[in-house]
Amino acid sequence: MVKLVGIAGSIGEQSYNRMLLEFIRDHFKKTVDIEILDINDVPMFNEDEDHNDNPVVHELARKISGANGVILATPEHNHTVPAAMKNVIEWLSNNVHPLNGKAVWIVGASYHTQGSSRAQLHLKQILESPGVNAFVMPGNEFLLSNAKEAFNADGSLKDARTVGFLDSVMKKFLTFMKVIEMMDAPDPKNAHEEDMDSKHPVNTTVEGVDMNDPEWVEKAAEKTHAASGGDYVKLDRGLLTVDQLNYFLNSMAGELTFADDNNQFIYYNHNAEASQMLAARTPDQAGDPLSAVHPGRVIEHVKQVLYALRTGQSDVVSMPAQTGPNQHVMHYYRAMRDENRRYRGVNELVIDIMPILKYYLAATGQKLVKDPDAVPMSPITGLDAVTGASAHSTPSTDATSGASASTASAKPEPAKDPIDMDSLTGASEEAQPGYTAAENSAPAQKPESAPESDTDATTGASEH
């Protein structure tokens, strides 16, 4: 769901602009999630005083940065914006800049017939000034006049036409946000232009922290006042603490990695040391641009994968890495897109599928036999039509996430040169393409390892 934040520019106990925001929040709750932020405790701005660590200001900045858009409801005082609203913007354009590149919709309520029109015009000029750099939706002004008589006792707007106009403007604002977010998105013209050095910050980039700093996670978390430990995080369909999220992700069957749409490697589930991983990663790599976590010889291959995912040529790229009779490690790269279908990065799953395959064969009483009709895979030009992977030039190392064996502190064996076609396609005589699962010549027997109880050994499902 689209996430918005709203700020009322009045700190009075009775605020019709706050009532207007509350009505907007409740009226659109099925389509957008709107959180109204409190500015009552924001201190008076004075650039000579050091308020850089003021928790109220940083909490406002964090909420705004995490939202898709902002709704500002302004009263009109002496033909301009009230001091409280101007004070907040001063803070949000000093050492933190959460409104930079953010879509903003201005609304307003006033006691008189002009509905804060002059204040809205002035606020638009302030928001678009250097240092603030917000994107204010043009036109479609929502001016609620005669605010004292505009609301019912339950806080709803009385006039149906006013509500209808509000519906139309919200629809336009949602479209406006999509346009603004796409303007922010990196747009390489071809795979060679993929920025592996992360030089084009996006709206989720943490500014002011060196990407190559081995303590990037800790310093970026401090700068953003990130949630941690027992703090709750609201997800699409769940509410988890940060600790619970870590428990959940670290218990996944495979190794998980996330690189954002600026090609910055920002996460992996740290559930093993590098020397014990299928694709080695180390804690100090988190935060690095992808160019810093891959050997130079594979950079062009990585660009091809990223470009295919970014541009929608493929939503998933899959390729084998280490293969053999007892191991078949697969790398799955999946494009992540937001509610507006904008590419927001790539997640990678690295998993050895051999245990799954062996369990399936044992549980079903089948085995792999050679398929005489199979057509051997051969090198092709460009991206494979199914996976998006370059079949003749795929490196044996992790192609996206930063799992370059040569950069791991535990010094696992360095990646080899681009692997041969048999290794790439998995054409081994044991259990690879070109072979098919077939029934044993004898009638299917209960596998020796199968449990005698009524409960399935893996799923816990009762057969009865």
| DSSP result, 321-354 | EEEETTEEEEEEEEEEE-TT--EEEEEEEEEE-H
Do 158 and 281 fall within a single domain?
no
Does residue 175 belong to any structural domain of this protein? yes
Q: Could you tell me the two tokens for 355?
A: 């245990």
Do 174 and 281 fall within a single domain?
no
Do 277 and 413 fall within a single domain?
yes
Do 342 and 433 fall within a single domain?
yes
Query: Which residue has tokens 């992977």?
Result: 389
Query: pLDDT value at position 410?
Result: 35
CB–CB of 298/399 below 8 Å?
yes
Does residue 23 belong to any structural domain of this protein? yes
Do 108 and 169 fall within a single domain?
yes
The number of angstroms, rounded, from the C-alpha of 208 to the middle of its chain's C-alpha atoms is 20
User: Which domain covers residue 391, as residue numbers?
Assistant: 192-214+252-439
Q: Could you tell me the two tokens for 7?
A: 């700020």
Query: pLDDT value at position 398?
Result: 44
Sequential pLDDT tens for the chain (464 residues): 789 999 998 887 788 999 999 999 999 999 999 999 999 999 998 877 655 568 888 889 889 988 999 999 998 888 889 999 999 999 999 888 899 989 999 999 888 777 688 889 999 999 999 989 999 999 878 988 888 888 999 999 999 999 999 999 999 999 999 888 888 788 898 999 999 999 988 878 888 899 999 999 999 998 888 889 999 998 888 999 999 999 999 999 999 999 999 999 999 999 999 999 999 999 999 999 999 998 889 999 999 999 999 999 999 999 888 777 789 999 999 999 987 788 999 999 999 999 999 999 999 999 988 888 887 653 323 344 334 343 333 334 444 444 433 333 333 333 333 323 222 223 233 333 444 555 443 333 333 343 343 434 433 344 43
Does residue 238 belong to any structural domain of this protein? no
Do 304 and 354 fall within a single domain?
yes
Nearest-angstrom CA–CA distance, 58 and 225: 7
Does residue 414 belong to any structural domain of this protein? yes
Does residue 245 belong to any structural domain of this protein? no
Do 14 and 145 fall within a single domain?
yes
Nearest-angstrom CA–CA distance, 198 and 229: 29
Query: pLDDT value at position 146?
Result: 84
Do 142 and 160 fall within a single domain?
yes
Q: Which residues contact 99 (CB under 8 A, 6 or more apart)?
A: 64, 70, 89, 92, 93, 127, 132, 133, 134
Do 267 and 125 fall within a single domain?
no
Q: What is the CATH number of the domain that holds 71?
A: 3.40.50.360
Do 115 and 11 fall within a single domain?
yes
Domain count, the chain: 2
Nearest-angstrom CA–CA distance, 72 and 281: 44
Query: pLDDT value at position 52?
Result: 59
Nearest to 74 by CA among 172, 150, 7, 155: 7
Q: Could you tell me the two tokens for 404?
A: 């370059």
Query: pLDDT value at position 430?
Result: 36
Do 167 and 270 fall within a single domain?
no
CB–CB of 240/233 below 8 Å?
yes
Query: pLDDT value at position 46?
Result: 81
Does residue 446 belong to any structural domain of this protein? no
Does residue 227 belong to any structural domain of this protein? no
Does residue 287 belong to any structural domain of this protein? yes
The CA-based angle 264-268-271, given to 5 degrees, is: 165
Do 409 and 332 fall within a single domain?
yes
Long-range contacts of 205-212 (CB under 8 A, 24+ apart): 205/260, 205/262, 205/264, 207/97, 209/287, 211/264, 211/287, 211/288, 211/289, 211/292, 212/287, 212/288, 212/289, 212/292
H or E element, residue 439? strand 435-439
